[in-house]
Amino acid sequence: MLTGHITFAAKVTSPIAIQTKEPFDVDEIPGVEKATVDLTDVNKARITIKFAQVESDETGKEVAEQLTRELIEGLATQLMIGIGEPRITELGLHEFPERPNAAYMPCVVAHASVMEPTIKTGKMLSAKDVEGLVQFLKQPNPPGKADFGLFRLVLQCEDRTQEFMLLYSLLMAYTGTRIVRGKVKQFQDEVDTFIRKHEPGVEERLSPHTKQNETIYSWLRNEVGHHTRSGTTVKPLDIRREMTSKLQGLRALVRKAIDER
């Protein structure tokens, strides 16, 4: 039998990250003693899985990797930030029970892609925010858990226009897609209804295509889809700028849609 810990690090890819003043523990996790989440560095998320006992290195790595991935997906989803793939940075498993007078040193692994700093600003979470985050991460099956991985993947997009379009596609899949007579149909009006419900007073614009009002999110998405139409006066650069300014609102809407699935 072995005891000890395995630490992972994952690069944070969002322009503005989330920070905590100190690491925090997530306990009551089956199969492990606890998990420690460290968000004190805006450039990376570090997660340490502590084992009281585990059968082997292989079993420890398998359990720790699966749990770390679930925690990373939960963090990315709840905080709405991009977090990359976790990599082992420290392997600290050793024999149990420990031999008298024996010294055990963890194996440290450096990953350049994880260590390279890319972010300069971070939003500090309050103690109350951290407490709420811990309670969320402790849930074995939070609402929408099956969609966390896909949401996290989209949040990692470096191109903001691409992220906007993919987020809107998720919102359409979650709120505006139904099966009608055996065929999958998408309904933008249902997406806009969902948006108006969860973002009261959302900006609306007249669609040049349908001559009906639609939310700013749908309008921007449709302008990209119809940017080659003749006679348009909307500049692609202006559309991209507006998309970037609306990303946080769209992330929050997708997050709400995941909760309600």
Residue ranges with strand state E in 68-165: 87-95, 107-108, 121-124
* Range 91-110 average pLDDT: 77
Nearest to 195 by CA among 215, 223, 173, 212: 215
Domain boundaries in the chain? 2-145, 160-259
CA–CA gap between residue 44 and residue 62 (Å, rounded): 22
CA angle, 33 as apex, 88 and 153 as ends, to 5°? 45
CA–CA gap between residue 46 and residue 180 (Å, rounded): 46
Half-sphere exposure (Cβ direction) of 193: Cα atoms closer than 13 Å: 8
Q: Assess whether pLDDT exceeds 60 at residue 200.
A: yes
Q: Tell me: the pLDDT tens digits for 70-94?
A: 999 999 999 999 999 999 999 999 8
Q: Tell me: the pLDDT tens digits for 13-41?
A: 888 788 999 999 999 888 899 999 999 99
pLDDT-derived band at 227, boundaries 50, 70, 90: low
Which of 132-136, 191-195, 210-214, 251-255 comes out lowest in average pLDDT?
A: 210-214
Q: Which residue has the tokens 């440290």?
A: 108
Rounded to two decimals, the pTM is 0.89
- In this predicted structure, what is the pLDDT of residue 99? 74
Q: Which residue has the tokens 């139409």?
A: 229
